[in-house]
């Protein structure tokens, strides 16, 4: 069985939730999402979490683990959720997806001494953004 459809079409709930995350300037938490889509008929946590799981799986969004929050992938050529890196400002909480070829190459090629095979990584940098440094 070969799957050919490259451009999977999203389901209704998936699209609603992706739209919300996409237009947000900051990472959104699951229950913030829930609150904001209740008027569209998504009323319960499992509906949100199921859509989030799928969107993460297909690489449309990423989870910021240290914040339990979700951002849209800004990086259309980013390998599907396999190699993610973020910069997080500890003052204003701004989150950006880092896309740096050297960085992702270095990490994708990185080999463990213990013979482990890496299929995926997630990297979170913390610090102060340009604006917050000035203050």
One character per residue 37-76, x = contact with a copy of itself (rule: CB under 8 A): ----------------------------xx----------
Residue with tokens 């995350």: 21
Q: Which is nearer to Zn ion, 19 or 96 (CB)?
A: 96
CA distances in angstroms from 58 to 25, 53, 72, listed in the order given: 21, 9, 12
H helices within 24-95, ranges in order? 30-37, 45-57
User: Could you count the other beta carbons within 10 Å of the beta carbon of residue 37?
Assistant: 19
* Residue 98 touching a copy of itself (CB under 8 A): yes
Given a contact cutoff of 8 angstroms between Cβ atoms, the answer to whether 68 and 30 are in contact is yes
Q: Which is nearer to DNA, 21 or 51 (CB)?
A: 51
Q: Cα Rg for the chain, rounded, in angstroms? A: 17
Binding site partner of 115, from DNA, a copy of itself, Zn ion, none, Cβ cut-off 5-8 A by kind: a copy of itself
* Residue 116 touching a copy of itself (CB under 8 A): yes
* Residue 130 touching a copy of itself (CB under 8 A): yes
Q: Which of residues 74-113 bind Zn ion (CB under 5 A)?
A: 75, 78, 89, 91-92, 94
Q: Which is nearer to DNA, 99 or 122 (CB)?
A: 122
Question: Within 13 Å and on the Cβ side, how many CA atoms surround 81?
Answer: 16
């Amino acid at each position: 069985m070969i799957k050919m459809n490259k451009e999977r079409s999203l389901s209704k709930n998936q699209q609603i939730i992706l739209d919300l995350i996409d237009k947000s300037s900051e990472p959104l938490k699951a229950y913030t999402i829930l609150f904001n889509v209740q008027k569209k008929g998504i009323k319960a946590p499992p509906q949100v979490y199921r859509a989030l799981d799928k969107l993460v799986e297909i690489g449309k969004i990423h989870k910021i683990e240290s914040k339990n929050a979700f951002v849209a992938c800004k990086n259309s050529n980013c390998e599907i959720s396999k190699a993610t890196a973020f910069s997080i400002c500890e003052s204003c909480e701004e989150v950006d997806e880092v896309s740096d070829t050297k960085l992702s190459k270095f990490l994708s090629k990185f080999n463990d001494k213990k013979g482990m095979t890496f299929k995926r990584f997630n990297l979170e940098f913390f610090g102060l953004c340009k604006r917050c440094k000035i203050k």
